[in-house]
Structure 1
């Protein structure tokens, strides 16, 4: 059985508080808290790329699990802000770790990317193998810092989990992944791909920057997140009242709190870190997971639901039973 046997996370060094964002966007710090619940976020420095953050988180997860990089068979990096269009960011992480026995690939499902990457890795690894799943994003490079709709939300960060063998009654129990491509225009970066390459004209028009229909995304979350969670619970035979924790994509703390009641998970504790980290894209779930684990929030036998949503539009959930020893089983 595969489960999470190590966690790690990393935030870049520059803290950006609401006063700074408010000054740039023409709102007040109080407005940002009222609309998003976010109080600070973190920006990568000019010498830091997505792979740099990912490597820090990966090393922390390996150390937590007590496994060397040489034992890895797979590295999957979930990101929508890769270092380069090519090569995959995962190959840069592999090189930095010295994990040359591992296959390495990227997964892009935007903010739900970590859940999609986790399910992908679980499907590719054998029950006695080790793999790293990393969520990492540097959104500060692709947002308009003067746009209150996105600047108030997004920050940079990375989180990682080490997958490995656990006792048969622990680990990943199941997952549900769905994409609603008809809604793919709700979240996008228009320029930079094969359809619209970056040119001086597209840059002048801001088409290389992140764009989001906030109201449309909120409507999508309210409509699709509850049934997505019901599907993964039904597929694993777990009753809603058995779930102990929900670790969601940290999109917006106000939105998540408003949606929580509709999830019908009466016992579950909602693990929120958006107030301290902001929306870190694919990094947000593993970052929140690592924060909760290191705070002592999880106990052995806890049922934990990871659930994400993001551009595409996509929604995904993974249900797991926590492994109590927190060290590699073999």
Structure 2
């Protein structure tokens, strides 16, 4: 049975020029390198300067993905940007990336699912491609979370960083089996009852301000390890595959302890887990594509590998997707 698949044909990333170590942060807030590393695994993060907006970082990452794919702006008919830190209330950051790349056709829009945004965006793009509504999609995860942090709250400001990652998805015919290249399955969930555990305390429709990030760290940890595995198991079930067949697990890079505990619970060997949280911190919707680009560039992820992406974000929102690279 012939089936359309959304195949990754390019990958790219962009990071702000400035890297900030834990020791440097310790000069600003009451913390230490040991405290941060033991609890999160983070050793540094990149912070954007005034010239490095979300769309600027997203455009750089998208251009790198197009270059790797050997494609130009005329080849893209869909741009989706997953972000919680847009340049403006409107227009969407995706349209600014579209314009920055010289793409003048197709559709462009933002998708907001916080840290799960990239998984949601990949799943959404897949629906456009596999139904014939688009031929090639640029899927971007871009964030400047440093703009919404409370720099006096040591429990949150040490966790996050800025950056962007992007992939190019192309609709290609497959045999309709799990040996096909492309997105094989996906599973998305949300539960708005958990808003108070991870949120920003402002917005244009309430306070008229941007607001600052607030988090109940223990509750987020408990939910991430205890509940998020349902979408991973569902994605495996939909594809008719199991954890033992996985080549690489590329989760949202929020906390090393969460990542390892989730992998252990699912029976995924730790050597199959891609970890970049130590160098990037939590970059929200950008974390998965940043990690994909690292693992692709260093030769770990190769064509034909089975890759699982997974994330949980504020709301809560969470999701997973199985992709044959």
2:126 is the alignment partner of 1:122: yes
- 1-side partners of 2:213 and 2:286: how far apart? 17
Counting only pairs closer than 5 Å after superposition, residues 26-175 of structure 1 correspond to structure 2 as 26-125=30-129, 126=132, 129-166=135-172, 168=174, 169-175=180-186
Q: What are the residue-to-residue correspondences of 1:293-304 with 2, within 5 Å?
A: 293-304=296-307
CA distance 1:244–1:151, shift in 2 (3 Å): same
- TM-score, length basis structure 2: 0.93
Structure 1 position 313 matched with structure 2 position 324: no
Distance 2:147 2:269 in 1: 39
Mapped partners of 1:236, 1:108: distance in 2: 26
Report deviation, 1:128: 7.2
The alpha-carbon deviation at position 267 of structure 1 amounts to 8.1
| Alpha-carbon distance change, 296 to 127 in structure 1, aligned in 2, over 3 angstroms | farther
**Matches of 2:233 and 2:80, distance apart in 1:** 27
| Deviation digits for residues 110-159 of structure 1 (CA, Å, limit 9, x no counterpart) | 00000001111111123871110000000111101222111111000000
* Paired residues, number: 314
Aligned twin of 1:215: 218
| Pair 253,317 (structure 1): closer, same or farther in 2 beyond 3 Å | same
Contact 1:241 1:267 in 2 (8 A): no
Once residues 172 and 193 of structure 1 are traced to their aligned partners in structure 2, the CA distance between those partners, rounded to angstroms, is 36
**1:246 aligned counterpart, secondary structure:** strand
Q: Which residue of 2 aligns with 1:245?
A: 248
Q: Does 1:284 align with 2:287?
A: yes
Cα distance change on mapping 1:314 and 1:108 into 2, 3 Å: same
RMSD, matched Cα:
1.5
Q: Any stretches of 5+ residues in structure 2 without a counterpart?
A: 175-179
Q: Is the 8 A contact 1:127 1:165 kept in 2?
A: no
Structure 1 ranges of 4+ moved more than 3 A: none
Q: Distance in 2 between matches of 1:174 and 1:69?
A: 28
